[in-house]
Structure 1
């Protein structure tokens, strides 16, 4: 029984490492950064090979190389998919390993990852459908959205589109109705003059789409006076219809900026203090749910920075190694202030080479952290302070 539990624990640790490796933007270890770079390079090489082989010159001179690049990178996509299915339990910790794998496979990201490599191998079993399977190569382009995780600006755009999805869908629906109405109207006035062009009510869909969304294509156009008048009116309506989604997205940017400004103003008015804490593997909070860590009621975790992803915390959110916690607390006015000081130790400082227990400091002053070469050390009595250390003290009196 003990051996089984030990094996299960090793599998869980390995699964967590695999999940961190395949998760975009988790760069706490060199292998994770290396995997991110390999993923991006493989995707760009694959897309470059797919596009390049469509040129006659490239196909004639470099067909073998381009096909080899596509084969190797597509195999990488297949391995990446298997690793993501294996580590899906870390993405859905409330589900069993089997159910979490199915949940990922049926998700939009899982379907895109599957279509990134599966159509490449299907012609081996179904040669007749090779042409159709090649159409699914567009799924590889959708993998480019993973690069979105590296840039906050792109994340903002994604958040705006998601938050305004209902309004955008409504505007698209209005455009669709206008296309049908304009097609029917144009058929009514142009059918007798151009029976071969406007054969039925739906034959004007191409004309209405090109007129509403652009400035017209030229292959279908009205020739009657009434048709031309309708064309002018529909063109004006098309300009307004195309402007609706643009206005919605622009308003989303303004709202997003206003939210950030409001949070900043609120922090100043209410005198709220924010701090950032990075969790390590040894911290007691790592691996626990927020509801179980027992933080004071006046302190709140407002955001979790995990790699390049910002997570809005909830009680059931599990804290992970490398997470940066953004915490806030309101200043309590009736408590006497505590003075903080940061002391840089140089070669000639009296504390250089002295153990903490031998320092002569006030009893109301305490050393709560030592920074040494970018690392934070918990102060213990036998730690010897060295040149270059930064000593952080707090107490009820100001330091000289």
Structure 2
């Protein structure tokens, strides 16, 4: 029994020398995405009307699988050092954030849901939170946080540039267009909305300049807006690259892999 428990623990925790995703976690990942897909699709009334019963049955099956996963995690929780041994470890796991997310994802699957309880179908979308269990997701969050921390000074400079660009362009647009379009560009806050949509390249078209000077200001703002998007993107990409490189280096060191020798 202890051997089976240990094997299940290794499957749940991806405890393998190669670092590959276990079969159990692959099945869980596929199940999560299938359940999310149908939870999204069933919000379309025509699909709900035609395939509602079949999707309800699938929800029961998926909910059953989530229950099996949850019970397995309860069983192996005492093997985690952070939870502790025995019933105390089980209790600590039950009140942990990941356990609460699992319960939120499981419970809605066992409600009888028809039109009058349609809100419960929307609640089922909360199972998206189960993606947080994915090791890939955890790694991506780690790399993203590393990039923000390591490049915080560069990002602050980029943010200052963007804010300055927004204020200057909206001020100039106010001076150029306020008398012509007082309803749309008659104040700096209104021009600020125009500046944000222009710099971000969204361009809703709800407020546009009509004078020659206004169009020149808009053109310059659009061109400078490219830098406002490209600079922080490049900074974050550099931080991601450094984080991934550092992780690979640490893995090589832990596995006893040495870099190329310079002797020769």
> Is this a same-fold pair by TM over 0.5?
yes
Q: Distance in 2 between matches of 1:19 and 1:231?
A: 59
2:52 pairs, out of 35, 55, 63, with 63
Deviation per CA, 1:160-208: give whole Å up to 9, x if none. 4232123366478447735862685367334443333347654455533
Instruction: Indicate how the Cα distance of structure 1 residues 63 and 27 shifts in structure 2: closer, same or farther if over 3 A, else same.
Output: farther
TM-fit CA distance, 1:61: 2.4
Any unmatched runs of 5+ in structure 2? Answer: 259-264
1:44 pairs, out of 33, 40, 52, with 33
Q: Distance in 1 between matches of 2:100 and 2:169?
A: 36
Does residue 1:251 correspond to 2:243, yes or no?
no
Corresponding residue number in structure 2 for 1:35: 24
Corresponding residue number in structure 2 for 1:181: 167
Instruction: Indicate how the Cα distance of structure 1 residues 252 and 156 shifts in structure 2: closer, same or farther if over 3 A, else same.
Output: farther
8 Å contact 2:174–2:186 — kept in the other structure?
Answer: no
2:183 pairs, out of 171, 190, 196, with 196
8 Å contact 2:132–2:138 — kept in the other structure?
Answer: no
Instruction: Indicate how the Cα distance of structure 1 residues 156 and 121 shifts in structure 2: closer, same or farther if over 3 A, else same.
Output: closer
Q: Distance in 2 between matches of 1:179 and 1:82?
A: 55
Runs ≥4 residues deviating over 6 A: 12-15, 119-124, 260-263
TM-fit CA distance, 1:244: 1.9
Instruction: Kindly report the root-mean-square deviation, in angstroms, between the aligned alpha carbons of the 2 structures.
Output: 4.9
Corresponding residue number in structure 2 for 1:394: none
How many residue pairs match? The answer is 246
Deviation per CA, 1:22-71: give whole Å up to 9, x if none. 33x3469xxx9553243123212212212332445533422221233234
Q: Distance in 2 between matches of 1:129 and 1:174?
A: 46
Does residue 1:20 correspond to 2:7, yes or no?
no
Deviation per CA, 1:228-264: give whole Å up to 9, x if none. 333223222321121123312442465468668988x
Q: Secondary structure at the match of 1:196?
A: helix
TM-fit CA distance, 1:129: 9.9
2:223 pairs, out of 233, 236, 245, with 236
Write 1 or 2 for the structure with the bigger share of helix: 2
Corresponding residue number in structure 2 for 1:134: 122
What are the equivalent positions in structure 2 for 1:314-325 lying under 5 Å apart? none
Q: Distance in 1 between matches of 2:66 and 2:248?
A: 41
Q: Distance in 2 between matches of 1:227 and 1:59?
A: 50
What are the equivalent positions in structure 2 for 1:249-398 lying under 5 Å apart? 249-252=236-239, 255=242, 302-303=253-254, 326-327=255-256
Any unmatched runs of 5+ in structure 1? Answer: 1-9, 264-273, 275-301, 304-325, 330-400
1:165 pairs, out of 133, 136, 148, with 148
Q: Distance in 2 between matches of 1:239 and 1:206?
A: 17
8 Å contact 1:183–1:207 — kept in the other structure?
Answer: no
TM value normalised by structure 1:
0.45
Higher relative contact order (CA 8 A, sep 6+): 2
Q: Distance in 2 between matches of 1:213 and 1:85?
A: 47
Q: Distance in 2 between matches of 1:116 and 1:175?
A: 43
Instruction: Indicate how the Cα distance of structure 1 residues 129 and 64 shifts in structure 2: closer, same or farther if over 3 A, else same.
Output: closer
Deviation per CA, 1:71-97: give whole Å up to 9, x if none. 442454466456546655516156962
Instruction: Indicate how the Cα distance of structure 1 residues 87 and 256 shifts in structure 2: closer, same or farther if over 3 A, else same.
Output: same
1:73 pairs, out of 62, 66, 72, with 62
Write 1 or 2 for the structure with the bigger share of strand: 1
8 Å contact 2:143–2:240 — kept in the other structure?
Answer: yes
Corresponding residue number in structure 2 for 1:356: none
Corresponding residue number in structure 1 for 2:262: none
